[in-house]
Amino acid sequence: AEDLATILPAQFEAEMAPADVIFMWAWWIRNNTDHILEISDIIDPSDFMPGIVDQVSVGGKIYGAPYTGKVKPGFWYRISFFKEHNLEVPTTWDEFVSLLETIKGIDGIEAPIASGDGVGWPLSDVTEHFLLTFGGVDLFQGLINGSVSWTSDEVKDIFKNRLVPLLQEGYFSEPKDWTLILEDWWAGKYALYFMGSWITGMVENASDLGVFSLPGAEAFVFCPDFCFIPKYTEHPDEAKELVKFLSSAEGQTIQVKQGGHIATNLGVSLDDYPEVDKRVAQLLEGATAVTDLDDTIGGEFQTNFWDQLKYLWVHPDEWETVLQNIESKAP
């Protein structure tokens, strides 16, 4: 998506498209409907999780189709590693901090938590989990719509008393490419890795995966993948046929069976999931699902947010300046 954000505007200006069906952020689809085919005739919002289709709708018209999505449920660990070192999943904040201190003392551990990086989005996922858990859904949505400031007392409290102390204590590693550090985490250099549910399809033995959220978490980021059809396709009918299939229960069932994905179509059965993904899907039952904060806002805010968090991870003492810089580009 990051690459497409720079490629598509020039293509569309020339009334061209690099493909007939394109996967892209929901906010980007909403902001570029002049170049996108309306697909209200093939997408029925009632087939999907409530509110999903709203993310790609403008003026009552539908411009994008939901595919499968990913939950960002918390910290993944190897069950075998926890058993080997007699570690237990924490149920309180104090137990969580104590767990990190215990892990820090295990031979061979470089840091308790692996910090995935790329353009900055893995660090944003961690940060959003802290904001949701300790600030709640209202604060989280307020940061998205601009009614809550990043320099508010509520946000400052979460950074000052929850996230920043963990960075200062060295419980998080320095940021490293998220796919490379995944291999190091699996090899035992780190014990925990905050990542989305797609991780279940990226490891050698998904049955050895366990996951826990920050104690007290009652809401999780759920990120659907969306696709659209550019107006400049030479095959609009075939493109619609493909989009309709991909978003259908049949198409999404094929995807979830491969592991690492959660269906948005309500017609997909839990029995179609691999066992570890079924547990992830069940996390959403009774919890509040929200959209990814930086993906929802997008634009200049997103790139600035990523850059500021990369800086925070190596300069945690400057967290107040980081919040001021994030606020400068916020809605």
In angstroms, rounded to a whole number, what is the distance separating the alpha carbons of residues 308 and 65?
A: 32
More confident residue, 274 or 280: 274
CA dist 313 and 175 (Å) reads 7
**pLDDT(329) > 90:** yes
The answer to whether the CB of 275 falls within 8 A of the CB of 207 is yes
Predicted local confidence at residue 120, as pLDDT: 81
**In this model, does residue 281 exceed pLDDT 80?**
no
The arithmetic mean of pLDDT across residues 305-309, rounded, is: 97
- The more confidently predicted of residues 1 and 61 is 61
Place of tokens 């549910």: 197
Residue 279 has pLDDT above 90, yes or no: no
User: What is the pLDDT at residue 148?
Assistant: 98
Q: Report the alpha-carbon distance of residue 179 to residue 203 in Å, rounded.
A: 11
Determine if the pTM surpasses 0.85.
no
Instruction: Report the C-alpha gap between 130 and 302 in whole angstroms.
Output: 18
Question: Which pLDDT score, from 0 to 100, does residue 30 have?
Answer: 94
168 — pLDDT class (breaks 50, 70, 90): very high
The percentage of the chain sitting over the pLDDT mark of 70, rounded to a whole number, equals 99
pLDDT for 89: 96
As a whole number, mean pLDDT of residues 9-36 equals 95
**Does the pLDDT value for residue 2 go beyond 90?**
no
The one-letter amino acid code at 293 reads: L
Give the model's confidence band at 119: pLDDT under 50 very low, under 70 low, under 90 confident, else very high. Answer: confident
Q: What's the confidence (pLDDT) of residue 205?
A: 92
Q: What is the pLDDT of residue 154?
A: 98
Angle at 60 between CA 57 and CA 66, to 5 degrees: 30
> What is the per-residue pLDDT for 330?
97
